[in-house]
């Protein structure tokens, strides 16, 4: 191989630190790698020279001999382009080969997270509650304590990769590492698997959990139960359980953030003469005074009768919209009274119906404008 000065090959000073040598080698190797320069003999020669130089200068013993005796000091100690560079290939060629030599991947795996849809009544969501839920899940295998190996035994180093999780593929003058096909990168083999979990370290089961629902939750809120998800594999930690809240529609109230809304039907007499009604709230009934001449659609606000926000802040309000009901199924006497009332109203010029009068005045003006 080359007899060029190794420091010149890598372009570093003779007192360069190991990190600088590695960085210089990386730059040259990436630029001149044969896979990136097919049919380019010059680039291949540069790559081989850099390999040889790095093999010597990255080894303290070889570098010391080289510094003292030159090429003669390391003669026969370089691999002439077929060096076993170990982790340096993982660092440099990871982006080419989709990952490099990082050692055995841990065979311990965290369990998957779970989701549970919890439907609540409006009352339970606003006031808070505690509910029990039953979920299917996987749990740590008790006989093997989650290891996957039969009780009294343990996983052994993989016979193919010797526990490294990677195997080396020699290709021409360089080698590439890839995930061990036997242990899938875990570096371990279970030769005598647990009969309960068949080597998985977890078994299917169901469990009952108590979920504390804080006051003020709403549709879309999530409650996280740490460690209540699927059991981990081979002794890994369990995942989490996310309880997603959905609030059922209510017969009386509609929720809008911290406020509640409801519609209250009132009679024609209460609207005209005024009165007092009992209005339901989530805390019980309260009195609502209806002033005389109340029009349909009027909104009444009951302070602090709404929802306490889950993230803090003042209570919301209860907004009551009154709807005036038209009487139905009138008796003969009631019809007579209504007809008499209507006649008096017409004679007095509809003073009791200001909106009706202004509306018809507007219609008349609109039609007159069309005729011009």
Residue 137's nearest CA partner among 237, 230, 244 is: 230
Q: Is residue 300 part of a domain?
A: yes
Same-domain check for residues 131 and 174 = yes
Same-domain check for residues 134 and 228 = yes
Chain mean position to CA 362: 57
- The total of structural domains in the chain comes to 4
Same-domain check for residues 59 and 77 = yes
Same-domain check for residues 55 and 147 = no
Q: Single out the residue in 223, 247, 271 at which a domain terminates.
A: 247
CATH of the domain at 73: 1.10.287.110
Q: Is residue 97 part of a domain?
A: no
Same-domain check for residues 131 and 237 = yes
The pLDDT of residue 72: 73
Same-domain check for residues 178 and 212 = yes
The pLDDT of residue 100: 41
Beta bridge partners of 259: 256
Same-domain check for residues 238 and 260 = no
Q: Which two tokens stand for residue 195?
A: 């009969």
Q: Is residue 47 part of a domain?
A: yes
Same-domain check for residues 71 and 163 = no
Structure confidence by residue, pLDDT tens digits, 217-257: 999 999 999 988 887 766 678 889 999 999 999 999 999 99
Q: Which residues of the chain have pLDDT under 70?
A: 1-2, 76-108, 169-177, 184, 233-235, 349-361, 363-364, 368-369, 371-372
Same-domain check for residues 124 and 234 = yes
Quote the CA–CA distance of 24 and 6 in Å, as a whole number: 12
Domain encompassing residue 362: 332-371
- Continuous segment of H or E residues that includes residue 27: helix 18-32
Same-domain check for residues 190 and 266 = no
Same-domain check for residues 320 and 340 = no
The pLDDT of residue 137: 77
Q: Is residue 101 part of a domain?
A: no
Q: Is residue 165 part of a domain?
A: yes
Same-domain check for residues 362 and 242 = no
The pLDDT of residue 38: 77
């Amino acid at each position: 191989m080359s007899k060029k000065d190794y420091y010149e090959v890598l372009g570093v000073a003779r007192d360069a630190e190991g990190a600088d040598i590695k960085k210089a080698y990386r730059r040259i190797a990436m630029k001149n790698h044969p896979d990136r320069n097919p049919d380019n003999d010059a680039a291949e020669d540069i790559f081989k020279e850099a390999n040889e130089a790095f093999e010597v200068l990255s080894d303290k013993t070889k570098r010391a001999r080289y510094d003292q005796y030159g090429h003669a000091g390391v003669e026969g100690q370089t691999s002439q382009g077929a060096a076993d560079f170990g982790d340096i290939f993982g660092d440099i060629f990871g982006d080419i080969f989709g990952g490099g030599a990082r050692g055995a991947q841990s065979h311990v795996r965290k369990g998957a997270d779970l989701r549970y849809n919890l439907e609540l009544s409006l009352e339970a969501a606003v006031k808070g509650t505690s509910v029990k839920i039953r979920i299917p899940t996987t749990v740590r295998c008790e006989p093997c304590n989650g290891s996957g190996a039969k009780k009294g035994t343990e996983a052994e180093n993989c016979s193919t990769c010797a526990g490294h999780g990677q195997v080396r593929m020699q290709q021409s003058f360089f080698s590439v590492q890839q995930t061990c096909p036997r242990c899938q990168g875990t570096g371990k083999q279970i030769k005598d698997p647990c009969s309960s979990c068949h080597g998985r370290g977890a078994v299917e089961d169901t469990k009952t959990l108590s979920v504390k629902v804080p006051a003020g939750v709403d549709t879309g809120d999530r409650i996280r139960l740490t460690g209540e998800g699927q059991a981990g594999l081979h002794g890994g930690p369990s995942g989490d359980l996310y309880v997603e809240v959905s609030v059922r529609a209510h017969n009386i109230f509609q929720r809008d953030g911290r406020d509640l809304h409801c519609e209250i039907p009132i009679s024609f007499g209460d609207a005209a003469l005024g009165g007092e009604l009992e209005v339901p709230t989530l805390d019980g009934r309260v009195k609502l005074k209806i002033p005389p001449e109340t029009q349909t659609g009027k909104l009444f606000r009951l302070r602090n009768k709404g929802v306490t926000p889950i993230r803090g802040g003042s209570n919301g309000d209860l907004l009551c919209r009154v709807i005036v009901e038209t009487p139905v199924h009138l008796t003969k006497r009631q019809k007579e009274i209504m007809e008499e009332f209507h006649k008096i109203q017409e004679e007095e010029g509809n003073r009791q119906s200001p909106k009706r009068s202004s509306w018809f005045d507007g219609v008349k003006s609109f039609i007159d404008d069309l005729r011009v």
